[in-house]
Amino acid sequence: METNQEITQSMPRIGDKAPSFTAKTTQGVINFPEDFLGKWKILFSHPADFTPVCTSEFMTFASMQKDFDALNCQLVGLSVDGLYSHIAWLRTIKDKIEYKGMKDVEVTFPLIEDITMEVAKKYGMIQPNENSTQAVRAVFFVDPKGIIRTIIYYPLSLGRNFDELKRILLGLQTADEFGVALPADWRPGDEVIVPTAGSCGVAKERMEAKEEDMHCYDWFFCTKKLSKEAIENALLKG
Catalytic residues: 54
Distances (CA, A) of 7 to 101, 133, 148: 41, 14, 19
Sign of CA dihedral 77, 171, 164, 101: negative
Closest CA to 222 of 233, 208, 234, 232: 208
Describe the crossing of helices 52-63 and 83-96 by its angle, rounded to 10 degrees.
70
Beta strand segments in 26-163, E: 30-32, 40-45, 73-79, 111-113, 137-142, 148-154
Question: By three-state DSSP, how is residue 150 classified?
Answer: strand
Listed in sequence order, the residues at least 6 apart from 141 whose beta carbon sits closer than 8 Å to its beta carbon are 40, 41, 42, 148, 149, 150, 151, 168, 169, 172
User: Has 167 been labeled as part of a binding site?
Assistant: no
Whether residue 125 contacts residue 139, with contact meaning beta carbons closer than 8 Å, is answered with no
Query: Roughly what angle, to the nearest 10 degrees, separates helices 162-178 and 228-235?
Result: 80
Annotated binding site: 137
Annotated binding site for substrate: 137
